[in-house]
Amino acid sequence: MKNRCTYWLLWLMLPIATASSLSTEEHPLIYKIDIRKDINNTTQLYLSNGLAEARSLNADGVLIHLNTYGGQVDMADSMRTAILYSPIPVYVFIDNNAASAGVLISIAAKKIYMRKGANIGAATVVNQTGETMPDKYQSYMRAMIRSTAEAHGKDTIVQGRDTIIRWVRDPAIAEAMVDDRVVVPNLIDSGKVLTFTAKEAVLWRYCDGIAESVDEVITQCLGYSDYELKSYSPSWLDNMKGFLMNPAIQSILILIIIGGIYFELQTPGIGFPSAAAILAAVMYFAPLYIDGLAQNWEILVFIAGILLVAVEMFVIPGFGVTGIGGIILIITGLILSLLNNLNFNFENVTPPDFGRATLTVLFGLGAGFILMLLLSDRIGREGLFRKIALNTDLEASVSVSVPAGMTGKEGVAETILRPSGKVRIEDEWYDGVSESGFIEKGMNVRVIRFENSQIYVQAIKEHEINKQ
């Protein structure tokens, strides 16, 4: 009797248990990343962060909603690598355009879906004015796009007694999208760069289906009738990091760092140039440090270089080994912070990565040097910096107008001249520039010339004082 009651009780509870299991069953999670702008540092950051979040959520698939005319090849290379080696299958939905760098990203995906009227192709490398780059750039792009297509392998198709082995995505077709010299029989002749419409891409196996919306891709193409969709939402910090990590912006920040240090050394006191250099250094290193590129020791190398240059300028007269060593450390710190190395392990750093980092830093240094030459004679008197130069306030507080006939007069350095500073002549204070290198505070000086309302002095040697 007891067993029979237990049997009926279990029978009555079965529908409840079944309903409970159905109600708690999780829907497949599809994670969507929108890339509908030029391919650059910002979109690379979107993809990197999106793939990381998709992995943390155990998503069943990632769908890239793509519409782009292209962008930076180096960023596209990083993005296609992340897609190829993603543990979660990545699909792409081309909503209108996948040109240039967008082709590389699309071919890396497991499946490609396109909207009617969309296009994919025209991946020739061009510069910012639209002119075709030299063949060495095209060669690198050809190899990248060919290897990306090859990564998907081959299909084995059995038709009757025949077995056909063919590429999932023909590498020759991918290469024809870059190089107008590539000929694909029955598709394109020499002299034309290949671009597919949606229907043509389906015919040549560069599109796995045509859909009109994200929902249609997921339900009809991927086969998820009941799913959960989550989209990556970039924050303002993501956009700021992407902007600051642009090579052009990084070069400008380096220019400001070097220019700020130089002009601070040329003017007495601490003011705007120092603040500009410090702010630029923070903006340069902060996003790289957050992303794990700039390590603590690399930033310390840069700071050590700054300190050595300061010691050379403030403590050691002239310019020698200490200053040169400081410059080398500054350049080394700036370059290393752009590389994806782990301490002293550079296995993950490719020659193009090193070359790009070096060019970014050297361009900034070169521009900073040119800026110094252009502004060193203008700062404080006219031009862009006339309102923030120190000489206006100093003259108002302790300086007087310089009378004629100053040449040959002697006085005392009231501040350190490195080379600019304050000198006292006949109980009057003047702005002075040293013509004999570093001059310590308290040293005797002599006016050797007077130009553009500025006196130029040199230190009086001790034996000259004794002789007098």
Name the class of domain 25-235.
alpha beta
Q: Across the strands, what pairs with 315?
A: none
Instruction: State the Cα–Cα distance between residues 41 and 31, nearest whole angstrom.
Output: 21
**Residue 184, CA atoms < 13 Å, CB-side half-sphere:** 18
Q: What is the mean pLDDT of residues 264-289?
A: 76
Confidence at residue 178, expressed as pLDDT on a 0 to 100 scale: 92
pLDDT bucket at 399, cuts 50 / 70 / 90: very low
Which option is the CATH number for 396-467: 3.40.50.720, 3.60.10.10, 2.40.50.140, 2.40.128.260?
2.40.50.140
pLDDT of amino acid 464? 55
Are 97 and 67 a contacting pair, CB within 8 Å? yes
Question: Locate tokens 């250094």: which residue?
Answer: 281
Find the range with the poorest average confidence among 118-132, 209-223, 366-380, 393-407: 393-407
Angstrom CA distances, 375 to 63, 234, 272, 437, 438, stand at 51, 40, 15, 21, 22
Q: How far apart are CA 288 and CA 333, in angstroms?
A: 12
Question: With contact defined as beta carbons under 8 Å apart, do 391 and 421 qualify?
Answer: no
**Does 461 score more than 80 pLDDT?**
no
Interval 118-152: pLDDT, tens: 999 998 888 777 788 888 788 888 999 999 999 99
Q: Give CA–CA dist 144/35, Å, rounded.
A: 21
Summarize pLDDT for 46-85 with one digit per residue, the tens.
999 999 999 999 999 999 999 999 888 888 988 999 999 9
- Amino acid 103: pLDDT: 94
Average pLDDT over all residues of the chain:
80
Q: Are 75 and 43 in contact (CB under 8 A)?
A: yes
Residue 432 pLDDT level (bands cut at 50, 70, 90) = confident
Separation between Cα atoms, residue 70 and residue 39, nearest integer Å: 6
**Could you tell me the CA-to-CA distances from 225 to 27, 88, 207, 222, 467 in Å, in that order?**
10, 19, 21, 9, 102
Give the percent of the chain with pLDDT over 70.
81
Residue of 328, 323, 321 lying closest to 265 (CA atoms): 323
Report the interhelical angle of 247-266 vs 351-375 (nearest 10°): 40
Identify the weakest region by mean pLDDT among 194-208, 258-272, 282-296, 413-427.
Answer: 258-272
